[in-house]
Structure 1
Amino acid sequence: MAPPSVTQTILASSEVEEIVKPVKNLPTLEEIKNAIPAHCFEKNAFKSIYFLIQDFIILGALYYILPTVEGYAGWTGLLIWYWFTGMFASSLFCVGHDCGHGSFSNYTWLNDICGHIAHAPILAPFWPWQKSHRQHHQYTSHIDKDKGHPWVTENDHLDRDWIAKNFAKFPLSGFFRWNPIYTVAGLPDGSHFWPWSRLFSNTRERIQCVVSGGLCLICACVAFHLCNYSVYNFIKYYYVPLLFQGFWMVMITYLQHQDEEIEVYEEGTWNFVKGQAQTIDRYYGFGLDSALHHITDGHVAHHFFFTRIPH
């Protein structure tokens, strides 16, 4: 996406500055809205519930065929099964994602119920995530305020310890960035499970954390029961698929917000339209965009009107 109309200074370090030449102004939010067909803003609760049920049916079918896959194809088949289960768990997350934005339906109570139904089984506390994700949308591409998707300057990177500097080089790091690093440990904006983390600022938010986190815990306990109270089976058949779901989340999010042309703005140069214009649509093909409810190839429009346009 093109840089803003004003001259922008990008600080790669304290010694290096690059001046980007000005280009024409971006359209206003109203101009962008007028260019989008009106039907894209229509919320359909029945259609949304259909997608919610569809994702649960697909995941149920994947678990139904698991013994056959594992029996005939062993660990190779299991890895393929993990890949697709992680993908469709991400699809389920996308439905809950729309609940969090209020684009699932016109009813807050229905959004909250269905959001918890979608997110609790995949150990994503709905209300805490709703808050942290809202902050990302409000300050997309702001160098200091985009907490959920933090931007790291060269000086910030140099100040990090060895593990933080080199973790991204670890080939399997993407499997751990969502859960446990982001949701449990709370890096960078606070744990989504601990009610006294820095993510929450009042009693209402802490109670919501307990409710959403408690529902996740209940789902984990049910899964443990279904695994015959075997830690090995619980990890193999429940937690590892969630690590693959986390990998899909990290991959999708990275591709939505990373490109060599993306601009990041400081306070005083950032505004809402500039920030949202730094998002990217990615076309995966092979039916994946539809399976993922178009969170991949419809992300730019979603960022501009995140409470209005369902995926």
Structure 2
Amino acid sequence: MIERIWSGKSPIYLFLLPFSLLYGLVSSIRQFCYSISWLKSWKAPCPVVVVGNLTVGGNGKTPFVIWLVEQLHIKGCRVGVVSRGYGGYSENYPILLDIKTSTDEAGDEAVLIYQRTRAIVAVAPKRSDAIKVILAYSVVDIIITDDGLQHYALERDLELVLVDGVRRFGNGWWLPAGPMRERAGRLRSVDAVITNGGKVVTGEIPMSLSGYNFVNIQTRESCTPDFFKSAVAMAGICYPTSFFSTLRQLGVSVTEVVSFSDHQKYNVKILKALTPDNQPLIMTEKDAVKCRDFAQYNWWYLPVNVKIPNDKRKELLTKITALILEKH
């Protein structure tokens, strides 16, 4: 239903427009206050690159952050990552992640980034606190913020925005009538727009997500799509239909799909009930990080990797590494 409203296919969004206008007014006033220094922003002593969205979730932001960290590691850069930690809660912030940190504490996206990259990752509602704990722990060359485009309390040296090339900006309205945190005109002030699939506008960097080998959550063994004669698929992400479509494109015979809310918390009872005959259960990697402590033998996930054309990859990484060289 919400996808129909935000795409403009349902007229219900018209009744939500007054709330959207209020959201937009408050957001614009707040941004203006930061622009004229009525509200103060904190400046980190190292370069900060913000990876964010104009819309609510589902744009491939976290896989892109993982890709970016890995690319910078290859170049020998020491990278720190900060996150708000959506979906997690701790009585004490900031949290510096380690192998024992749970998704209940730090959120699924931060834990996934840490497990895939082994970068220094910190979580705090106030991003400056997360950066400070990273700098106290280790020397880093650059900080990547997972989300935080609208977190103007933190100064940034570079802004990268992820766009879903299929859905683009829906009906173009602010929340709750539409999916927008900021209007599309904000793209004119960012440093790069990375478009995940679908329609790529001139000047944007095309990106795609690919995955083929599935991984068993319990045993870590891998398999190809032809291993599954039939399977149940589940996803607790913002737009699960794209994941289900990917599985079918890979040739997996999906007999049932189950959607959960984004950042859904799971337990063994909820997920075992999805496969009463112990058929394979396939999920996203973001879901899998929340299930490692109680994973069953028939649970699998599909890791995905970012692909960006070589010329655009080189151009983007040159722009980012130049920030590091300037500081030195």
Q: Does TM, scored on the shorter chain, surpass 0.5?
A: no
**TM bucket normalised to smaller:** under 0.3
Structure that is richer in helix per residue? 1
Structure that is richer in strand per residue? 2
